[in-house]
């Protein structure tokens, strides 16, 4: 049984794991967390050794892609020790990719070490190229620090993908400037619909929502878009822009969910396994981790949880109401 790959009730193989290594972040992005967050006591977080053990159990069950997230993963103390430990699975061939999602603030410091651990690409969250607007949307962030980090990642040989949350009335006017900048720097670009998660004012969140069907239609007015069969193990759907040769992704949990091909689960920094980003069902993996040095109970808990993975989420924005809202923030679940 232990060597049987993970498959959910809908015959979807689970090959992609996203693990939050911390709920803390040095930014306070308005769509992600409140300005005065109450973070978890550190004793509740999995240790780096426990995170390694848990990730390794998933790799043993057939996970081929591992993404570390947060919060901001690079603010976790000594986090590079975890990257170095997990790199053994790249060397053995058990793991195809080890990567991370970051706000970029610490990349200038860590990019060379990440590359040395076998990380080949990073996702950087960046919603605007305007320093003033960047400060407003992140509350605590500095655009120049992130740009330095992106440049350092590129210099270290890391492929950079920019993740931009589409925010109505905020970055609509930057659609083409973001595209041009990414083309000039050689970065891929993915747009994401804002999701109804966390402590939010419903009217404010509805006001932020910019459907990617509209964004894509604006692109099509200027460029020739062709669908790509490209799949990177995540929820994005991709097009190629004929005029620039760029690949642009769209993550559309609201206008067109991506559940039918979902191959991923998420683990929080406290060891909670969420089988679906848009559902509250979860399983406790911390207790079996700490209950025994053997992995049998951990593997059994993982298999039991995957057997309850739902078919999909319920995210929805109507004209006057948000459905499928999750009370937890993205910083709790992980990106």
**Residue 227 CB-density burial (10 A; 0-12 exposed, 13-18 middle, 19+ buried):** exposed
Domain spans of the chain? 16-333
Sheet holding 159-166, edge to edge: 225-228, 237-241, 247-251, 188-193, 159-166, 121-125, 97-102, 65-69, 16-20, 264-267, 272-274, 282-284
Q: How many CB atoms lie within 10 A of CB 194?
A: 22
Read off the tokens for 333: 């679940």
67 is in an annotated binding site: yes
164 is in an annotated binding site: no
276 is in an annotated binding site: yes
Q: Which residues contact 169 (CB under 8 A, 6 or more apart)?
A: 207, 208
195 is in an annotated binding site: yes
218 is in an annotated binding site: no
264 is in an annotated binding site: yes
31 is in an annotated binding site: yes
Per-residue pLDDT of the chain (335 residues), as tens digits, is: 456 889 999 899 999 999 999 999 999 988 888 778 888 898 999 999 999 999 999 999 999 999 999 999 999 999 999 999 999 999 999 999 999 999 999 999 999 999 999 999 999 999 999 999 999 999 999 999 999 999 999 999 999 999 999 999 999 999 999 999 999 999 999 999 986 644 555 545 556 789 999 999 999 999 999 999 876 556 789 999 999 999 999 998 765 555 677 888 999 999 999 988 667 789 999 999 999 999 999 999 999 999 998 876 554 444 444 444 445 455 556 65
55 is in an annotated binding site: no
165 backbone dihedrals φ, ψ, rounded to 5°: -80, 125
25 is in an annotated binding site: yes
117 is in an annotated binding site: no
* pTM more than 0.85: yes
The predicted pLDDT at position 318 comes to 46
CA separation for the pair 309, 266 (Å, rounded)? 11
Q: Which residues contact 219 (CB under 8 A, 6 or more apart)?
A: 175, 179, 225, 241, 248
Q: What is the pLDDT of residues 211-240, one digit of tens each?
A: 999 999 999 999 999 999 876 556 789 999
Closest CA to 61 of 332, 285, 281: 285
161 is in an annotated binding site: yes
The predicted pLDDT at position 321 comes to 45
29 is in an annotated binding site: yes
- Whose tokens are 């790199």? That residue is 87
121 is in an annotated binding site: no
**Class for the domain spanning 16-333:** alpha beta
262 is in an annotated binding site: yes
Q: Give residue 204's Cα distance to chain centre.
A: 23
Residue 64 and residue 71 in contact, taking contact as beta carbons nearer than 8 Å: no
Q: What is the pLDDT of residues 296-313, one digit of tens each?
A: 999 999 999 999 988 765
101 is in an annotated binding site: yes
Q: What is the pLDDT of residues 102-147, one digit of tens each?
A: 999 999 999 999 999 999 999 999 999 999 999 999 999 999 999 9
Q: Which residues contact 216 (CB under 8 A, 6 or more apart)?
A: 225, 239, 250
Integer angstrom CA distances of residue 106 from 34, 73, 116, 277, 301: 21, 9, 16, 26, 34
Read off the tokens for 180: 């041009």
CA separation for the pair 85, 154 (Å, rounded)? 24
CA separation for the pair 294, 281 (Å, rounded)? 26
Q: Which residues contact 256 (CB under 8 A, 6 or more apart)?
A: 213, 237
């Amino acid at each position: 049984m232990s060597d049987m790959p993970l498959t959910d009730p809908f015959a979807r193989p689970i090959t992609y794991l996203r693990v939050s290594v911390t709920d803390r972040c040095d930014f306070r992005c308005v769509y992600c967390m409140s300005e005065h967050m109450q973070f978890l006591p550190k004793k509740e977080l999995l240790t780096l050794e426990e995170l390694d053990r848990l990730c390794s159990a998933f790799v043993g069950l057939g996970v081929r892609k591992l993404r570390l997230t947060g919060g901001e993963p690079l603010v976790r103390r000594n986090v590079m020790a975890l990257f170095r430990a997990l790199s053994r699975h790249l060397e053995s061939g058990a793991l195809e990719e080890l990567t991370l999602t970051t706000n970029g603030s610490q990349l200038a410091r860590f990019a060379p070490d990440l590359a040395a651990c076998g990380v080949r690409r990073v996702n950087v969250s960046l919603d605007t190229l305007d320093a003033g607007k960047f400060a407003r949307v992140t509350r605590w962030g500095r655009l120049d620090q992130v740009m330095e980090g992106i440049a350092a990642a590129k210099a270290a040989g890391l492929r950079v993908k920019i993740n931009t949350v589409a925010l109505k009335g905020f970055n609509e006017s930057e659609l083409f400037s973001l595209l041009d900048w990414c083309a000039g720097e050689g970065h891929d670009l993915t747009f994401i619909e804002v999701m109804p998660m966390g402590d939010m004012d419903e009217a404010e969140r509805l006001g932020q929502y910019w459907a990617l069907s509209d964004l894509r239609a604006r692109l099509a007015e200027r460029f020739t878009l062709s669908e790509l069969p490209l799949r990177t193990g995540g929820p994005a759907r991709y097009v190629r822009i004929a005029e620039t040769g760029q690949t642009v992704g769209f993550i559309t949990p609201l206008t067109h969910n991506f559940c039918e091909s979902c191959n991923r689960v998420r683990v929080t920094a406290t060891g909670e396994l969420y089988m679906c980003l848009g559902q509250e069902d979860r399983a406790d993996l911390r207790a079996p981790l700490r209950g025994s040095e053997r992995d049998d109970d951990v593997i059994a808990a993982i298999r039991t949880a995957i057997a309850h993975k739902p078919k999909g989420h319920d995210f929805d924005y109507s004209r006057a109401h948000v459905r499928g809202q999750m009370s937890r923030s993205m910083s709790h679940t992980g990106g």
